């Protein structure tokens, strides 16, 4: 209803909308009944927002999630959207669920004008981002959602992504954007590498336990599962309905590109090299991610010690939630939100523990965390525009 003016009549707990444009006073008719007439015209009431946002790669899933989340952000307003294959089209044509948003049409990246932009969300595919970001004005704040700047070691990037790093000098100034862990560094950053979805769901529960020396660095086994949206919007045979439905598919066994990112973050926390066993699986669902982590506790450590450390680490955090003892996290319960739900359980094998962590791969695993990071970078409360509650059922 973004272009419509309307009034409302409230009858007890009911609400009826009529197409009117005038505002009248509130009048009591009978006890328990209040009639309210109001007018809202979002076209005429549209105001310029403080921070002008560019979304590069707006025609992909992470780009569309940025647009959705920014719809209710009081300070960030989109002034530029790029999508080379969809240039000239409106966001409503590309994503009909966003048809109510009054936004500029998408343009090709070569035609983008950044004179009216303060900050950029870069939602372009891996391998294309380094040269584009290198050419952007230095005045811009940038959150990159690709993997192109996540690995500090450019030789490691070349090994895992199969191509030379095209902006090695720029890599030196990048801050990794795991918000709850590196908040202070993010505050002063110009360019933030937004974490991957799997690494987010894995590092959030493990980093506090590693820093507290509560778990062994060896024999960490991670069994992770993701919805199909994690593979992007491009047409691929492996992502067809008949290929995905009614089955589970393990992929990237021992060679998934998120492995070095996971190990980089865990090794930083330990100040020592950590190697993990990580196997991801594609699930027949649209969005959602669960990481089940099997680990060995340090000598003398109990499950309660792990639980208490996670509680201390995240009790003041908005988006990381340690559930009550015994409650199993479910992807259904974080769908559409920026939350990460975690819990820890005793293994049947003495001295071992099982951690379960769930996120929405497109929100906390991508666009939501990106917005959280830009909020921090721009000095706004980091939950601004992110208080969407999970969508259930």
Whether the link from the prior residue into 369 is cis, omega within 30° of 0, is: no
DSSP assignment, residue 215? B
- With helix as H, strand as E and coil as C, how does 258-304 read? CHHHHHHHHHHHHCCCCCEEEEEEECCCCCCEEEEEEEEECCCCCHH
Q: Pick left, alpha or beta for residue 126 (phi over 0 → left; psi -120 to 50 → alpha; otherwise beta).
A: beta
Q: Are 269 and 197 in contact (CB under 8 A)?
A: no
Query: What distance in Å separates the CA atoms of residue 336 and residue 257, rounded to the nearest whole number?
Result: 25
Q: Are 321 and 265 in contact (CB under 8 A)?
A: no
- Enumerate residues 6+ apart whose C-beta is below 8 A from 265: 176, 178, 181, 195, 199, 203, 207
C-alpha closest to that of 372 among 191, 199, 183: 183
How far is the CA of 377 from the CAs of 135, 142, 165, 364, in angstroms? Answer: 21, 9, 25, 17
From 122, 123, 197, 340, active-site residue? 197
Question: What are phi and psi for residue 300, nearest 5 degrees?
Answer: 85, -5
38 noted as active-site residue: no
- Enumerate residues 6+ apart whose C-beta is below 8 A from 235: none
Query: What distance in Å separates the CA atoms of residue 264 and residue 256, rounded to the nearest whole number?
Result: 14
Q: 């921070």: which residue's tokens?
A: 51
What is the gyration radius of the CA atoms in the chain, in angstroms?
Answer: 23
DSSP assignment, residue 230? G
Question: Active-site positions?
Answer: 197
């Amino acid at each position: 209803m973004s272009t419509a003016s309307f009034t409302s009549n409230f009858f007890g707990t009911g609400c009826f909308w009529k197409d009117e444009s005038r505002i009248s006073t509130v009048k009591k008719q009978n006890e328990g009944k209040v009639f309210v007439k109001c007018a809202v015209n979002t076209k005429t009431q549209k105001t310029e927002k403080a921070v002008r946002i560019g979304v590069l790669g707006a025609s992909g899933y992470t780009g569309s999630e940025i647009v959705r989340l920014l719809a209710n952000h009081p300070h960030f307003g989109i002034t530029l959207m790029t999508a080379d294959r969809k240039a000239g089209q409106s966001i409503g044509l590309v994503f009909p669920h966003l048809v109510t948003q009054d936004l500029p049409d998408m343009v090709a990246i070569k035609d983008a004008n950044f004179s009216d932009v303060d900050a950029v969300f870069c939602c372009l595919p891996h391998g294309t981002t380094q040269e584009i970001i290198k050419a952007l004005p230095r005045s811009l704040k940038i959150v990159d959602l690709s993997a192109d700047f996540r690995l500090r070691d450019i030789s490691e990037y070349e090994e895992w992504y199969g191509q030379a790093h095209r902006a090695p000098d720029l890599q030196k100034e990048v801050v990794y954007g795991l918000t709850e862990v590196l908040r202070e560094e993010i505050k002063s950053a110009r360019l933030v590498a937004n974490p991957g979805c799997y690494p987010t769901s894995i590092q959030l529960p493990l980093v506090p336990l590693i820093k507290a020396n509560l778990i062994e660095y060896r024999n960490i086994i991670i069994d992770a599962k993701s919805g199909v949206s994690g593979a992007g919007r491009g047409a691929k045979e492996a992502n067809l309905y008949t290929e995905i439905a009614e089955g589970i598919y393990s992929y990237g066994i021992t060679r998934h590109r998120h492995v070095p990112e996971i190990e980089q973050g865990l090794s930083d926390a330990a100040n020592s090299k950590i190697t993990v066993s990580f196997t991801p699986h594609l699930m027949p669902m649209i969005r959602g991610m669960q990481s089940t982590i099997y680990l060995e506790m340090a000598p003398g450590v109990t499950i309660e010690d792990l639980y208490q450390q996670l509680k201390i680490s995240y009790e003041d955090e908005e988006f990381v939630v340690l559930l009550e003892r015994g409650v199993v996290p479910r992807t259904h319960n974080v769908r559409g939100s920026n939350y990460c739900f975690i819990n820890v359980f005793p293994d049947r094998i003495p001295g071992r523990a099982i951690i379960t962590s769930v996120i929405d791969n497109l929100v906390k695993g991508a666009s939501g965390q990106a917005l959280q990071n830009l909020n921090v970078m721009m000095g706004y409360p980091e939950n601004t525009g992110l208080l969407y509650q999970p969508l259930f059922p």
